[in-house]
Amino acid sequence: MLQGTASSNAPDPVGRGVHARRRILSAALELLADAGMRGFTMEAVARQAGASKATLYRHWPSASALLVDAMDAQFRPAPQPSTGDLRADLVAILDGFVRALTDTPFPRLMAAFIDAAERYPELADLHTELTRRRRAPALRLLADAQARGEITLDIDPDVIVDLLAAPFFYRRFVAHRPIPADLPAVVVDRVLATMRTRDKTPDDIPKDLPRPQERAPSARTATRRQRGRHDRQERGRQ
């Protein structure tokens, strides 16, 4: 699948080798998260893993091959919520994003991926694939809801998923501002509001859902500014 990797296709070797391999893959990700591509050296990985440099080169022909394997091994498929309540399920998915972006080392790893993908084509391909897998649950929810007649998908569903997922990554990696706890609900409501079918709206949808034209007044207080330490004052120059 991804060329350049020495052993991702082969069955895991038996015996003592497995342990060294796993230690090395974990160490590679730790280093990448801690120090980015600058800290990702074969020497440092070997040190961190308590392994010999020779062992690294026995398993992977190059640092980038090791990195691809490490990225691939790290991925955990996202859960697929399916309570039948589209809004709740989407919010659950986005809540998972928020947790991953705030309470785990994932964002530091992600930032390194973003940078690495820009410069190593094989990493860009893998990054694309991993992102595709992360998006699959939301895409499926939308397709199911459309099949039930709950929503009208008159545009590319991938764009809808973009609208849903993008704000969280943007806040974390570009705007560097805190993510309000209710942002998943706010985003889902905004996006769903443009897709509800007039004729059929299931009863299990919360009634205070802010439909356009007849919005619940609570959305305002729910999203009160909420700025933290990232709020900065004006700078002197332009």
Site string for DNA, 59-98 (x = CB under 7 A): x--xx-----------------------------------
> Are residues 56 and 47 in contact, defined by beta-carbon separation less than 8 angstroms?
no
| Contacts (CB under 8 A) with a copy of itself, residues 45-74 | none
Q: How far is the CB of 45 from DNA (least distance, A)?
A: 8
Q: How far is the CB of 7 from DNA (least distance, A)?
A: 10
Q: What residue 18 binds from a copy of itself, DNA, none (CB within 5 to 8 A, per partner kind)? A: DNA
| Contacts (CB under 8 A) with a copy of itself, residues 28-47 | 35-38
Tell me how many residues contact a copy of itself (CB under 8 A): 74
CA distance linking residue 150 with residue 195, whole number of Å: 9
| Contacts (CB under 7 A) with DNA, residues 32-51 | 41-44, 49-51
Q: How far is the CB of 90 from a copy of itself (least distance, A)?
A: 15
Residue 34, Cβ density class (10 Å: 0-12 exposed, 13-18 middle, ≥19 buried): middle
| Contacts (CB under 8 A) with a copy of itself, residues 169-208 | 169-171, 173-177, 180, 183, 186-187, 190-191, 193-196, 198
CA neighbor of 180 nearest in space, from 165, 167, 192: 167
CA distance linking residue 164 with residue 159, whole number of Å: 9
| Contacts (CB under 8 A) with a copy of itself, residues 91-110 | 107-108
Residue 73, Cβ density class (10 Å: 0-12 exposed, 13-18 middle, ≥19 buried): middle
Q: How many helices and strands in the chain, by DSSP H and E? A: 10, 0
CA neighbor of 185 nearest in space, from 94, 100, 102, 97: 94
CA distance linking residue 56 with residue 75, whole number of Å: 21
DSSP label of 189 = H
Q: What residue 177 binds from a copy of itself, DNA, none (CB within 5 to 8 A, per partner kind)? A: a copy of itself
User: Mapping DSSP to helix (H, G, I), strand (E, B) and coil, where does residue 130 land?
Assistant: helix
User: Mapping DSSP to helix (H, G, I), strand (E, B) and coil, where does residue 77 land?
Assistant: coil
Q: What residue 133 binds from a copy of itself, DNA, none (CB within 5 to 8 A, per partner kind)? A: a copy of itself
Q: What residue 55 binds from a copy of itself, DNA, none (CB within 5 to 8 A, per partner kind)? A: DNA
Q: Is 80 in the site for a copy of itself (CB under 8 A)?
A: no
Which residues are at the interface with DNA (CB under 7 A)?
Answer: 13-21, 23, 41-44, 49-55, 57-59, 62-63
